[in-house]
Structure 1
Amino acid sequence: MDESELEEELRNFGVDVHDIGDVDPVELSYITAYPGEEVNHMEMGKVLNAFIDLQEESEWEPSRVEATVLRFEDEVMNTWYAKAEWFEGLRDYRISETEFSTRVLETLEKDL
């Protein structure tokens, strides 16, 4: 799956993709629909669910996802990431959805 296909899939999930720099690892920036003080966790889940669905449909081979959340097109709000092995662990039932989510949430940068 190349950058344009991945962008299209993410947009289908309602993600306002700003840029995809690479696909292995995925370097994604998206503009949040919730430009408050903190990153909206449900919106993060929407992004992650897009990758999980693509993996389940065998359209995406898990790789690290590095996300930059933009408050506006030129203002970084925060960053987070998800490791390939976390996607694989979820797929193979080695970790729960709660553990997966907790691991990702713990990667949010504290002071940007």
Structure 2
Amino acid sequence: MPGVISGIEGELRSNGINVESIDLDGDTVELIYLTAFPDVDVNHQEMGRALNTFIAAAEKDEWEPVRVEATVLRHQEDVQGTWYAEPEWFRQYIEYDISAEEFSARVIDTLSEDEP
């Protein structure tokens, strides 16, 4: 029987993010996930669920914000797009220095979508 997936990976999965791989070591989180919406555009609600997982972990002092770099796959070897979030954005949001709309806009501005 496989082991229980816990921590941020487990939380991402419980929030509907199909994690292909995640590297939490170092100065950057490298997240690769398989989208449930394999269209041309990256699904913003799915991005939000992933980001909210990191925000919740930071609010509970279970994760110290670092840069999060995400790669979104339509299926194996087919990249739909990439996005990232800077650690100071997480901190500013948690400390109420920026709104949810501002946080989202910053992340969406980093979105790079590959043509199918």
Q: 2:8 touches 2:53 (CA, 8 Å); kept in 1?
A: no
Consecutive unaligned residues of structure 2, counting only runs of 5 or more, are: 1-5
Whole-Å Cα distance in 2 between the matches of residues 7 and 111 of structure 1? Answer: 25
The amino acid of 2:7's aligned partner reads E
Q: Which runs of 4+ in 1 moved over 4 A?
A: none
1:76 aligns with 2:67: no
2:38 to 35, 38, 44: 35
Note the alpha carbon deviations across 1:35-86, whole angstroms, 9 max, x for none.
0010000000000010011111111111100000001022111000000000
Partner of 2:3: none
Q: Report sequence identity in percent.
A: 53
What number of residue pairs does the alignment pair up?
110
TM-score (norm 2): 0.88
Whole-Å Cα distance in 2 between the matches of residues 97 and 19 of structure 1? Answer: 27
Note the alpha carbon deviations across 1:3-59, whole angstroms, 9 max, x for none.
x63211211211100011344310000000000010000000000010011111111
Partner of 1:93: 96
Q: 1:66 touches 1:80 (CA, 8 Å); kept in 2?
A: yes
Whole-Å Cα distance in 2 between the matches of residues 22 and 50 of structure 1? Answer: 14
Q: 1:18 touches 1:73 (CA, 8 Å); kept in 2?
A: no
Whole-Å Cα distance in 1 between the matches of residues 113 and 79 of structure 2? Answer: 13
TM-score (norm 1): 0.91
RMSD: 1.6
